[in-house]
């Protein structure tokens, strides 16, 4: 059973608009959350993270929001750019090893 | 540093053949991870090493899979015999530590796309 769920396999957004990628988790022991970005033919690269003691973390155009009561986090990209087109993986840690979701493919149209 | 290096980048083989995937982690990283990516299951951890010692191999799907790390700069993932359902992208990753701000970041290699016919 998937403990980290990314229920939208794909998302299409127009350049300049906001992209919102969602992630749900089931394990209440998770206390640290990460987003990785993956381009075709490359490995995932770390993008942004958030600890469970926070509800928001911002890094430039990327912001991650955490709602612990709902066991939900989201990644906001504002404004979206064509270069943001990639697969985004949500991951959660409770012990030391992250559990990854299946990924969401984001396409940003010019 | 060149990052995590994996070879080959692509492997096509026939069912029943032995497949060996190779990984060179980032120098100085004490942890090495092997992941498998499929559409159905996303990124799954197969096994990880600490200082060349396997710590958790509970993600290895079957006895057909084995992994070794003979030294700090080299690891292999072997599938023998291979089956069509093993077709996936296999990633190697390394990190300085398992916990700690910044030091636990996993750096992934470009992956090996395995196709078993």
pLDDT by 10-residue block (mean), chain B, 117 residues: 92 97 96 93 93 94 94 96 96 86 83 97
3-state secondary structure of A8: coil
Give the CA distances from residue A61 to residues A54, A89, A93, B43, B89, in Å, rounded to whole numbers and listed in that order: 18, 17, 24, 25, 30
Peptide bond into B8 cis (omega under 30): yes
In B, minimum Cα distance to A98 occurs at B45
Distance from CA of B47 to the nearest CA of A (A): 11
Contact A43 B4 (CB under 8 A): yes
**Would an 8 Å CB–CB cutoff place A103 in contact with chain B?**
yes
pLDDT at B100: 65
Question: How many CB pairs below 8 A link A and B?
Answer: 49
In B36-95, the residues whose Cβ lies within 8 Å of chain A are 39-45, 48, 56, 91, 93
The tens digit of pLDDT for each residue in A51-79 reads 999 999 999 999 999 999 999 999 999 99
Tell me the DSSP string of B20-74: EEEEEPPTT--EEEEEEEETTTEEEEEEEEETTEEEE-TT--STTEEEEEEETTE
Contact B99 A96 (CB under 8 A): yes
Q: Give chain A's residues under pLDDT 70.
A: none
In B, minimum Cα distance to A1 occurs at B41
CB environment A35-54: b (16+ within 10 A), e (fewer): bbbbeeeebbebbbbbebee
Nearest to B97 by CA among B21, B33, B34: B33
């Amino acid at each position: 059973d998937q403990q980290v769920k990314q229920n939208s396999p794909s998302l299409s957004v127009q350049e300049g608009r906001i992209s919102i990628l969602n992630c749900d988790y089931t394990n209440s022991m998770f206390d640290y959350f990460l987003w990785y970005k993956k381009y075709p033919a490359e490995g995932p690269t770390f993008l942004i993270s958030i600890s469970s003691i926070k509800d928001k973390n911002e890094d430039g155009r990327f912001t991650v929001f955490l709602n612990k009561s709902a066991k939900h986090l989201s990644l906001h990209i504002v404004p979206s750019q064509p270069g943001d087109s990639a697969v985004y993986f949500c991951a959660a840690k409770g012990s030391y090893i992250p559990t990854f979701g299946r990924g969401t493919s984001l396409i940003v149209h010019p | 540093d060149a990052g995590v290096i994996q070879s080959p980048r692509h492997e096509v083989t026939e069912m029943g053949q032995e497949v060996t995937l190779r990984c060179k982690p980032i120098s100085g990283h004490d942890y090495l991870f092997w992941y498998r990516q499929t559409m159905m299951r996303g990124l799954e951890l197969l096994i990880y090493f600490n200082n060349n010692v396997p710590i958790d191999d509970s993600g290895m799907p079957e006895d057909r899979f084995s992994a070794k790390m003979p030294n700090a700069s080299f690891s292999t993932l072997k599938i023998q015999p291979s089956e069509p359902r093993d077709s996936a992208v296999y990633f190697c990753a390394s990190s300085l530590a398992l916990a700690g701000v910044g030091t636990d970041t996993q750096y992934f290699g470009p992956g090996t796309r395995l196709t078993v016919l």
